[in-house]
Amino acid sequence: MMKIEADLHTHTVHSGHAYSTLDEMARGAFLRGIRMIAVTDHGPKMPGGPHEYYFGNLDVIPEEIYGVRILKGVEANILDDGRLDLPQELLEKLDFVTAGIHSQTGHSLNSSEEYTDAVIKAVQNPAVDMITHPVQKNYPLDLEALIKAAKKYNTILELNAGSYNKRKTFERARKENSLKLLKLAGRYRVNLAVNSDAHFHDEVGEISSLDFLFSSDYMDEKLIINKNTERVINFLSRKKQGLFTRKITG
């Protein structure tokens, strides 16, 4: 079992299919000893997802709730050609931008190649900090191509505990591919995050469904960026510095 200080992928009731408020999620984090959460509600194209205005107003939330640092973010939907479902200026204002492919969000991606190309375009987007659940069952991505892009563009790849959530009746990922991603990340030295993808407050920081990765010979805790909050803060300050530099140089 690995211990993490930060959980970089959580959903509140605003996602439309999650069941706790932000206050409850922060309390859930506090009770589990998690010191930082990213609140990453789904982008507007998710059925039942929040309006763009929701993301534009996240500034009203304090930096800490129950002593837990709150990163204000999104899990944007990756659409055709790697487009995302929030305007770029809005993405650039958020603390933590994640992106992933979801069904029923209006994309027409329909093969492993198309999925891989779209995800790599999202990796290249300077506002995107992390790709959610790159290991998935339906259209397995070209993981080596993805890892190389993540290395080049300094984007975090996620090992998603929710994909193996024991409460759900089916697994959304394949263990051999999660192991392959871990192995490749070690070889190319790419940042990984191990997150709950919590949709209820008692799931915050719950990553035990990934024990098969933690006990594997490929596990190198130096790769896990959310092991402690300092690593996350250092990553974000470097990444946001890049965004800032890009903006002033046009």
Stretch that binds Zn ion, among 26-34, 48-56, 110-118, 131-139 (CB under 5 A): 131-139
Pick between residue 47 and residue 242 the one whose CB is nearest to Zn ion.
47
Q: Tokens 């092991």 label which residue?
A: 227
What single-letter DSSP state applies at residue 238? H
Pick between residue 76 and residue 90 the one whose CB is nearest to Zn ion.
76
Size of the site for Zn ion (CB under 5 A): 4
Interatomic CA distance for residues 143 and 146, integer angstroms = 5
Structure tokens at 214: 């933690």
Structure tokens at 195: 């997150």
**Tally: H helices and E strands in the chain:** 8, 8
User: Does residue 50 interact with Zn ion by CB under 5 A?
Assistant: no
Pick between residue 100 and residue 126 the one whose CB is nearest to Zn ion.
100
Q: Which of 85, 129, 158, 197 binds Zn ion (CB under 5 A)?
A: 197
Least separation in angstroms between residue 101's CB and Zn ion is 8
Least separation in angstroms between residue 84's CB and Zn ion is 13
User: Does residue 85 interact with Zn ion by CB under 5 A?
Assistant: no
Q: Is 160:133 a contact under the CB 8 Å cutoff? A: yes
Least separation in angstroms between residue 102's CB and Zn ion is 6
User: Does residue 100 interact with Zn ion by CB under 5 A?
Assistant: yes
- DSSP letter string, 91-126: HHHSSEEEEE--TTSS----SHHHHHHHHHHHHH-T
User: Does residue 43 interact with Zn ion by CB under 5 A?
Assistant: no
Backbone angles phi, psi at 68, to 5 degrees: -95, 125
What single-letter DSSP state applies at residue 212? H
Pick between residue 127 and residue 183 the one whose CB is nearest to Zn ion.
127
Q: Which residues bind to Zn ion, rule: CB under 5 A?
A: 75, 100, 132, 197
